Chains A and B, each alone.
Chain A
Amino acid sequence: MSTTFKKRNIFLWLLAVAFLTPIIILFFLSFSKNWRFPAILPEQFTTENWSYLFFSSGNIGQSFIVSLTIALSVACFATLLGFITSKYIAYHKYRKKLLLLTYFPFALSPVIFALCLKFYFIKMSLIGNVQGIILAQLMIAFPYSVIFFTGFWSQRIKQFEDLVATLGGTTAYAFRKIVMPIAKSLIMICFFQCFLISWFEFGLTSVIGYGKVETLTIKVFQFVTEANIFYAALSCCLLILPPVILLWFNKKFIVQTSK
């Protein structure tokens, strides 16, 4: 028993290390200065990077707020609208075909999709501003939400609703007393999933945002291109933070964001 058991433990340990080190290293880098090969630790640990980016003209706090605003709006709209539309699809006679249509925008590479749509966004003056990015990201998050909820509107829910109707209850009553309690936790999950889709988005945002809307992912890329690894690491930390906080509250919130 013992040798295989140990081997297994080593494997698990390695996995734990692999999952944890990136966060720790990024955090350390964000406090570092002068980190020259072949030193493992930087010459200096400092809070300079943080104070410069937050309090001088670094504007990273602003980026954080911009990202947050976009992600919360996308999550709200996508969840709400997706919940409504999914019911329509779920009980539609062409359910399969409609669902297929919703999969398309969701499955395409966001950056390619955005480049094909850029023209229309320019036409509608939706380029280089937050509204444009919210709309563009909704084109990924909304289909996600629709697909997510379509499974929810099962035959069982319909039967409950019908039952309430036969017993003389209104649709609103059925919605409040039957549908909502069952859907509540799913709505929460979908909300956070959509939040993360938006929070993590880079390719589409870079095209539609024109570089003018500086979300955190855009900032990371910018710092990487100017070889500013400490600032990039700092922005990475800010990007990782909200998902980790969500994780603290509920593991389910951050499951399976495949994009």
Chain B
Amino acid sequence: MGLNTKYAIFNTSKINIISFLLLLVFAILPLILGFGFAVSYSFGLIGVLNKGFTLENWSALFENNDVIVSFLYSGWLAIASLTLSVVMAMAIAIFFHKKFSKGIYSYLVYMPLAFPSIVAAFFFAQFLGNAGILSRICYQLGIIDHIQSFPNLINDRFSFGIIIAQLFLSLPFFILLYTGLYQTERIDDYTQLANSLGAKNKQSIFRISIPILLKKSFPNIVMYFIFKIGTYEVPLLLGRSSPETISVLAVRKLQKFNLYDIPQGYAIAVIYTIFIISLLMIVLKINKNEYDI
């Protein structure tokens, strides 16, 4: 390729058109089309088994509070795993930031990032299940005498398995984020300054380190929350039959057993999309510095 063609390719007006088209095709159009499809399907406008406009599917959906429960449950799971990740990662950043900036730990921390969600879910099912590794160890150590005496750690009432798996997946991300911020925000300097002015260690942690880290990471936390609300693989393998997270519920309605549930499944997709988009708009509006990935 000669200089001239290169020049032509990078001609600004042409490139703007291409860029706009790309944005349209890969980001804007799919969203509009997908949303439009879900809306029309949920109101009975399309679909081989639908018979024209109806509000039935929507009213059937709200006959019971499944959807609300599902949203609350997804939200709760996201908040629980995020809180644990943030607290642990902050503690690590404050106390061990040196260990994690270089050396063996700076490598180890990346390990969970090599895990797809489905692999993490599979591993924790094998590790925490009643016939899992932990249970076997407990048996061999004489802590339990029967497979059933091992507590339910997966498919359990408190969603322990899901939260642990999510923690495993997200902790490294937050450790890296906070150890990074600890350095770029020069928190060491601030705490030293505060300490020399007579602040106690505890005070400088709670008054300086934590507020700075929290403030700086807030957009990341919210973005993570948005991702975790839609999480699918982990609750699919480690969750209980009920309640279900939003993704699991929607997929069940759309792909399982009763064909007449499909419009309801699309109604859930509509609610979910509106919810996520509103949340995103609020976050990006409040937070003037955009969230950088």
- Cβ of B237 under 8 Å from chain A: yes
Cα A107 to Cα B111 with chains together (Å)? 24
Tell me the residues in window 92-141 of chain B with beta carbons closer than 8 Å to chain A beta carbons. 92, 95-96, 99, 104-120, 122-123, 125-127, 131, 133, 135-137, 139-140
A2 to chain B, nearest CB (A): 16
- Cβ of A213 under 8 Å from chain B: no
In the complex with contacts A100-B284, A104-B277, A247-B114 CB distance below 8 A: yes
For B248, the closest partner residue in chain A by CB is A111
Cα A18 to Cα B175 with chains together (Å)? 14
Q: Which of B37, B105, B127 contacts A25 (CB 8 A)?
A: B127
Verify A202–B223 contact, CB threshold 8 A.
Answer: no
Q: Which of A100, A109, A147, A247 contacts B230 (CB 8 A)?
A: A109
- Cβ of B292 under 8 Å from chain A: yes
| Binary per-residue interface labels of chain A (1-29) against chain B in the complex, 1 for a CB within 8 Å, 0 otherwise | 00000001000100110111011011001
Q: Which of B50-58, B60-68, B151-159, B268-276 contacts A (4 or more CB under 8 A)?
A: B268-276
For A106, the closest partner residue in chain B by CB is B27
Verify B16–A88 contact, CB threshold 8 A.
Answer: yes
Residues of A within 8 A of B254 (CB): 115
Verify B22–A85 contact, CB threshold 8 A.
Answer: yes
B144 to chain A, nearest CB (A): 9
Verify B232–A84 contact, CB threshold 8 A.
Answer: no
Verify B118–A217 contact, CB threshold 8 A.
Answer: yes
A215 to chain B, nearest CB (A): 10
Verify B22–A84 contact, CB threshold 8 A.
Answer: yes
Tell me the residues in window 64-83 of chain A with beta carbons closer than 8 Å to chain B beta carbons. 81
Verify B27–A104 contact, CB threshold 8 A.
Answer: yes
- Cβ of B214 under 8 Å from chain A: no
Residues of B within 8 A of A142 (CB): 22, 26-27
Tell me the residues in window 126-185 of chain A with beta carbons closer than 8 Å to chain B beta carbons. 138-139, 142-144, 146-148, 150-151, 170-172, 175
Verify B139–A102 contact, CB threshold 8 A.
Answer: no
For A115, the closest partner residue in chain B by CB is B254
Residues of A within 8 A of B115 (CB): 22, 240
Residues of A within 8 A of B107 (CB): 247, 251
Verify A16–B108 contact, CB threshold 8 A.
Answer: yes
- Cβ of A33 under 8 Å from chain B: no
Q: Which of A35-43, A46-54, A55-63 contacts B (4 or more CB under 8 A)?
A: A35-43
Verify A120–B33 contact, CB threshold 8 A.
Answer: yes
Residues of B within 8 A of A258 (CB): 170, 173, 223-224, 227, 293
Tell me the residues in window 215-259 of chain A with beta carbons closer than 8 Å to chain B beta carbons. 217, 220-221, 224, 229, 232-233, 236, 239-240, 243-244, 247, 251, 254-259
Residues of A within 8 A of B247 (CB): 109, 111-112, 203
Cα A40 to Cα B229 with chains together (Å)? 36
Verify B114–A107 contact, CB threshold 8 A.
Answer: no
Verify A12–B230 contact, CB threshold 8 A.
Answer: no
- Cβ of B28 under 8 Å from chain A: yes
Q: Which of B6, B112, B230, B280 contacts A112 (CB 8 A)?
A: B230
In the complex with contacts A38-B136, A142-B27, A258-B224, A116-B35 CB distance below 8 A: yes
Verify B269–A115 contact, CB threshold 8 A.
Answer: yes
Residues of B within 8 A of A255 (CB): 110, 113, 173, 176
Residues of A within 8 A of B31 (CB): 101, 104-105, 108
Residues of B within 8 A of A39 (CB): 136
Verify B273–A37 contact, CB threshold 8 A.
Answer: no
A25 to chain B, nearest CB (A): 7
In the complex with contacts A103-B284, A258-B173, A108-B122 CB distance below 8 A: no
Cα A12 to Cα B108 with chains together (Å)? 11
Q: What 4 A-B pairs are tightest by C-beta distance, nearest first?
A: A109-B230, A88-B19, A116-B34, A243-B114
Interface residues of A (CB under 8 A from B): 8, 12, 15-16, 18-20, 22-23, 25-26, 29, 37-40, 81, 84-85, 87-89, 96, 98-105, 107-113, 115-117, 119-120, 138-139, 142-144, 146-148, 150-151, 170-172, 175, 193, 199-203, 217, 220-221, 224, 229, 232-233, 236, 239-240, 243-244, 247, 251, 254-259
Supply 10 further A-B pairs (C-beta < 8 A) apart from A87-B15, A116-B273, A236-B119. A37-B147, A107-B280, A112-B230, A112-B273, A115-B250, A116-B38, A117-B30, A175-B6, A221-B118, A247-B113
- Please, could you name 17 A-B residue pairs with CB atoms under 8 Å apart, sorted by A? A15-B105, A37-B139, A87-B19, A89-B23, A103-B284, A107-B223, A108-B276, A112-B230, A112-B250, A113-B34, A116-B37, A148-B293, A200-B116, A203-B251, A224-B237, A239-B116, A256-B293
Interface residues of B (CB under 8 A from A): 3, 6-7, 10-12, 15-16, 18-20, 22-23, 26-28, 30-31, 33-35, 37-38, 92, 95-96, 99, 104-120, 122-123, 125-127, 131, 133, 135-137, 139-140, 147, 168, 170, 172-173, 176-177, 223-224, 226-227, 229-233, 237, 246-247, 250-251, 254-255, 265-266, 269, 272-273, 276-277, 280-281, 284, 290, 292-293
